[in-house]
A = this chain, B = another copy of it.
Amino acid sequence: MSATAPAGSSQRRPAYRRLSVEQRRAQLLDAAVVLFAHHSPEQVSLDGVAAAAGVSRPLVYRYFPGGKQQVYEAVLRTAADNLVARFAEPAEGSPLRRLASGLRRYLAFVDEYASGYAALMRGGCVAATSRTTATVDEVRQAAVEEILRHLEVDEAPPPRLQLAVRSWIACVEVAALTWLADERQPPAEELSTYLVDQFFGTLAVSAAGDEECADVARRMLEKESADGPLPDVLRRMLPLIEEAAPLLG
């Protein structure tokens, strides 16, 4: 089978460039990633994948005997790995600024994989299975762990803190879907500021009701700086809080 011949063996037949199994699989996957990024799974066909990769439909089947669903799941795996790789952020400087930086990369991913992201995250996607849900959950879990790492909660995170971080991630997903539906308005930078503010709000509210969350929030505050995002959101929140102060009697 030509598809299994090592790349080097094709040197005498340059017109039919032979790829190794791995190279061919990567080529098919690259083409499929682009298709699934720009279309919902319903709109993608195996013929489309074959055409985009410049190969025959049977060749696609040889690599993905499970057909479109198998291609989709491999694409999702690739996209998930790509997204998780973007979470990595050095543990330096203001934690909220680090979060903003990760968020910008998340929104760049959402921008790039727009249709695929929307189809998958909106739910009811025909290609969704317990396996695709598990992949999405794995990405969320990676985000939770990266955030907890920056909050210096490496083991046994308080349940209320986990809930707060997970809720905030759900909030990011809702915001990302709304952003795509609203033709990427407001600008990514503004949306990311809003979401960082929301993170602080969620953490502050969790700290109000849970001593362990309060410890984590205080540790985070110690690492915030006057030129980080926190003073700005605090300044903007204070008028409302002052307005509520009379209720405290």
Contact = CB atoms under 8 A, between A and B. Distances in A.
Contacts of A129: 124, 126
Interface residues of A, number: 63
Contacts of A173: 170
A26 interface: no
Interface stretch (A48-56, A150-158, A201-209): A201-209
A236 B211 CA distance: 11
Contacts of A248: 226, 231, 234-235
Copies of this chain per assembly:
2
Contact of A123 (B136, B228, B235, B237): B136
A74 B159 CA distance: 36
Q: Which of A133, A209, A240 has the most CB of B within 10 A?
A: A240
Given A124-B132, A230-B247, A202 B201 contact: yes
A108 interface: no
Interface string A119-147: 00011101011111110100000000000
18 contacts: A124-B129, A124-B132, A126-B129, A128-B128, A162-B178, A163-B174, A163-B178, A167-B198, A171-B202, A193-B209, A194-B205, A201-B204, A201-B205, A208-B236, A209-B233, A209-B236, A221-B240, A221-B243
